[in-house]
Structure 1
């Protein structure tokens, strides 16, 4: 069916709901609701509500009403709004606000107009289904997010979840019907929100910053000169201390002098928020402090939207890499066990957002350069006069794709290489300066993204660590490997040893700064896990530091901006997206 035909038919059905309802005033509401929803379900899957910008989706409404025998929820036997309607009106407004959603996406002016004007019950079925559509839309957005994240950009590889908890939704509604309360209904609907700590924490921060916003926000802090260094005196320093305290940073001293204690706090702020750490109160620090409360509220709402892409409850054991803060966290039995630095993709080679399962650890990995890196970084060097020397120095080989055999790289062959003539794999042997380091944590994805060691650990000392070509480099990979292998090694014919402490893992790889070759028998040594570990790569620009202070890091990838634009453009149920 064409969209034009669908719009025409749905519009007429919407009209008929409003004009024919009085004819059925004496009929059971259950029959009316069932009839509207099940008639021509396959041919016409939606009902248009006249004057609104959303549809009534028959299939999802049926998923709810079938659970309750099509009994009405929001209107009485005469089609008039009941106490549940008054309760849901308040619950949607309150719940959406507290969860960083837009209340007008649920209880909009059309629903409000019907609510206030339907005193004779003639719009009873229309109102009943419109409110249920709003409630389903709300819990779906609360649970899964407002849109498919993969439609935002190519670096987001997590598909939108499907809402299926209609039985649970009916249970919440039925429980509140027995003792109607807007507060109880709001709490019941809130059960569909993510329950893990990241979401709960962002929600608490949103409430905190909303309270500041309600009190008038905060003023802009202006320095008497361009920047401040330790020892400087400035009338703005007390305001800086106060702003830092409001963000959770412990500022023990007072006064208008930039003293040593304040310098320590400023350096901490710079370090945990991805700035250059120099102890100078300059443009970066002042931008961080002067960003308006309204902008921080919206940044929180954007990050809450992204967290809804995750499972409702995170696995008790999982890896979480925050690509925005360049940090690795490992959780076991719900507790954070490890926290260390990562190096992630540059702004033009963004590490994608994804979820994968880690099923084995690999010692002494070879590295096969992706074509994107070959053609961006390597091919001109290979074609140059020192191409052979480059391959030798970096212990790289050309492997023919057709038969997997190594090719001797003559100058003539190297100079003939091009984007259209490169029938080879460019593979690096295992050694300490291998691009992957000496240990790799492969992830099954088509983008060749995984976790690994590094040949340049000094880069972890940098505060700005978006430096890689896409993969995630780990600061302390051997400690992580030891932990996940403990009592979790899958014994196979090729791997019979089930005990892998850190010192044993490191004994299989060359020592740091060594140029030693790795014995062939130890190349790509795999140790499989009995129980794989979920790995999440997410990009969140709002977080808590380990001491509880609030972090707002720079949107290096521009992902917040792209998500924000989508949030502003999207409409109910994605009809107009």
Structure 2
């Protein structure tokens, strides 16, 4: 069949478009495609490049180009069916409802799928519709660009590992580890690749490259390659590729941020932000739960500020954290304001911890109730921000200020420690009548526990995003709870079987 005749056949074809998302499924839409055979061939070529968007072309039953001359109607139908399925995944997310991810809020209703479907069917260049769908989210381009770099490195063989060992200090020499470090960073740092090879010496050009890399990855940019930097440098390139694929899919059909004030805590980025719509009012470092006591992903509201909070120590904290200290030095624990209670005849009775042989207390079950007084030694500091939830998670002050200078800040028992709680207090107390700076200071200095409801409850979102986009640049953080890895496994699962390509 001549090309002109094939175009006429395609123009006269009524092609139903399959939509893979049930929430947006519509009856098959009969429409005549305006696309020429060349345009449909460009469409199938674009679909074979879906890896650029973090999707696998094998998922979409893309027809072979050789089928076009022999069966033009079948080719057109298969090409547009594959394109429709890809379009749905690009707009709504391949993983529609990620398991155990309440932080990923999709809004499918905000995606006008029927209009996109008609655009695809009626476009003279349907590949252009796929291109537009791939970049709907404002951060997609930056992540997609970083994904392209990672895929190119993977295709070129990836990067080598740096042998384990002590911290590599600027100015030091090591015939094995320093050349391995240099080779690793040359893969991603053009300035270092163009610099003279310093051999075994950890020279200034290499130190500057390490600092640039640390800055890009949200680590302390001191040029010292310790355990944290080494672990990140030695991550396989494939892990980075999958992390970026997950980041793209997470953002598809993302619900728009609500108007008004809210608090966002990005757990793997160890940061809290107070936003008012799209305007950032405050940003600070936080400490979050260690992997064994992960901070849960929550959508809650801050309702109350508690001044000078006492701490009712959870049983797990008493077993795992307090018991070893009691075994070492009971007096130092008591000096920090801890009180111990038992229940006798249904009533709580305080005991003297010095009378207990703590070495006989089993690690599996802590038999006492523990409470710490409010004060400078309190684990909760002087402020607690209450946001009611079933996990008893809250934001709070802490006397341990040095922790906020660490690049890894996942070592709390699940609650979130604040670097600058007084600045959050200023925002939380906005609009609360009768509470000026003088009264706040007097209350803090008085030491009494006081609860103050906020004037307007503030939404608090505890989210998990390891790909942070700022000023068009992507900064990747460690997958501390393994949630990206779990999402990547869901992403790779087969979808509903497609009609075989013709």
TM-score, length of structure 2 as denominator length? 0.72
Residue 485 of structure 2 is aligned to residue 561 of structure 1 = yes
Q: Is the 8 A contact 1:74 1:131 kept in 2?
A: no
Q: Give the whole-Å Cα distance in 2 for the aligned partners of 1:307 and 1:200.
A: 12
Q: Is the 8 A contact 1:441 1:451 kept in 2?
A: yes
Q: Is the 8 A contact 1:358 1:535 kept in 2?
A: no
Determine helix, strand or coil for the equivalent of 2:54: coil
After TM superposition, give the deviation of residue 253 of structure 1 in Å: 7.9
Q: Is the 8 A contact 1:321 1:327 kept in 2?
A: yes
Q: Is the 8 A contact 1:350 1:470 kept in 2?
A: yes
Q: Give the whole-Å Cα distance in 2 for the aligned partners of 1:91 and 1:372.
A: 54
1:313-355 residue CA offsets vs partner (Å, 9 max, x unmatched) = 5767443333223233333342444333211111211222333
Q: 2:317 aligns with which of 356, 361, 373?
A: 373
Q: CA RMSD in A?
A: 5.1
Name stretches of at least 5 consecutive residues in structure 2 with no aligned partner.
1-12
Q: 1:178 to 1:220 in 2, by over 3 A?
A: same
After TM superposition, give the deviation of residue 473 of structure 1 in Å: 0.7
Aligned residues: 477
Q: Give the whole-Å Cα distance in 2 for the aligned partners of 1:483 and 1:253.
A: 49
Q: 1:230 aligns with which of 150, 155, 170?
A: 170
After TM superposition, give the deviation of residue 113 of structure 1 in Å: 9.4
Determine helix, strand or coil for the equivalent of 1:324: helix
Alignment match, 1:409: 351
Q: 1:122 to 1:462 in 2, by over 3 A?
A: closer
Q: Give the whole-Å Cα distance in 2 for the aligned partners of 1:144 and 1:299.
A: 15
Q: Give the whole-Å Cα distance in 1 for the aligned partners of 2:257 and 2:213.
A: 31
Note the 1:4-43 alignment, pairs <5 A: none
Q: Is the 8 A contact 2:268 2:477 kept in 1?
A: yes
Q: Is the 8 A contact 1:251 1:261 kept in 2?
A: no
Q: Give the whole-Å Cα distance in 2 for the aligned partners of 1:93 and 1:353.
A: 36
Q: 2:99 aligns with which of 138, 145, 150?
A: 150
Q: 2:274 aligns with which of 330, 335, 344?
A: 330
After TM superposition, give the deviation of residue 468 of structure 1 in Å: 0.7
Q: Give the whole-Å Cα distance in 1 for the aligned partners of 2:98 and 2:82.
A: 26
After TM superposition, give the deviation of residue 454 of structure 1 in Å: 0.7
Q: 2:85 aligns with which of 134, 137, 162?
A: 134
Q: Give the whole-Å Cα distance in 2 for the aligned partners of 1:222 and 1:377.
A: 35
1:219-270 residue CA offsets vs partner (Å, 9 max, x unmatched) = 54879x9985433577948756745635xx9999866264457546535645
Q: Give the whole-Å Cα distance in 1 for the aligned partners of 2:451 and 2:194.
A: 52
Note the 1:488-499 alignment, pairs <5 A: 489=431, 491=432, 496-497=433-434
Determine helix, strand or coil for the equivalent of 1:351: coil
Note the 1:464-543 alignment, pairs <5 A: 464-486=408-430, 489=431, 491=432, 496-497=433-434, 500=436, 505-510=440-445, 518-519=447-448, 523-530=449-456, 532-540=458-466, 542-543=467-468
Q: Is the 8 A contact 1:321 1:328 kept in 2?
A: yes
Q: Is the 8 A contact 2:305 2:383 kept in 1?
A: yes
Note the 1:52-451 alignment, pairs <5 A: 60=23, 63-65=25-27, 70-73=28-31, 89-90=44-45, 92-94=47-49, 96-105=50-59, 107-108=60-61, 119=71, 130-131=81-82, 134-135=85-86, 137-139=88-90, 142-146=91-95, 148-151=97-100, 156-158=101-103, 161=106, 163-165=108-110, 168-190=112-134, 193-195=136-138, 197=139, 199-210=140-151, 216=156, 220=160, 229-232=169-172, 236=179, 242-243=186-187, 245-246=189-190, 256=198, 258-260=202-204, 262-263=206-207, 266=210, 269-270=213-214, 273=217, 279-281=223-225, 285=229, 288-289=232-233, 291=235, 293-308=237-252, 311-313=255-257, 317-378=261-322, 390=333, 393-396=336-339, 398=341, 407-409=349-351, 426-451=370-395
Q: Give the whole-Å Cα distance in 1 for the aligned partners of 2:363 and 2:231.
A: 43
Query: Quick one: higher RCO (CA 8 Å, sep 6+), 1 or 2?
Result: 2
Name stretches of at least 5 consecutive residues in structure 1 with no aligned partner.
1-27, 38-54, 511-516
After TM superposition, give the deviation of residue 301 of structure 1 in Å: 1.4
Q: 1:269 to 1:322 in 2, by over 3 A?
A: farther
Q: Give the whole-Å Cα distance in 1 for the aligned partners of 2:369 and 2:215.
A: 40
1:185-233 residue CA offsets vs partner (Å, 9 max, x unmatched) = 1244346x544x4x5532332234345556x36654879x998543357
Residue 497 of structure 2 is aligned to residue 571 of structure 1 = no
After TM superposition, give the deviation of residue 181 of structure 1 in Å: 1.3
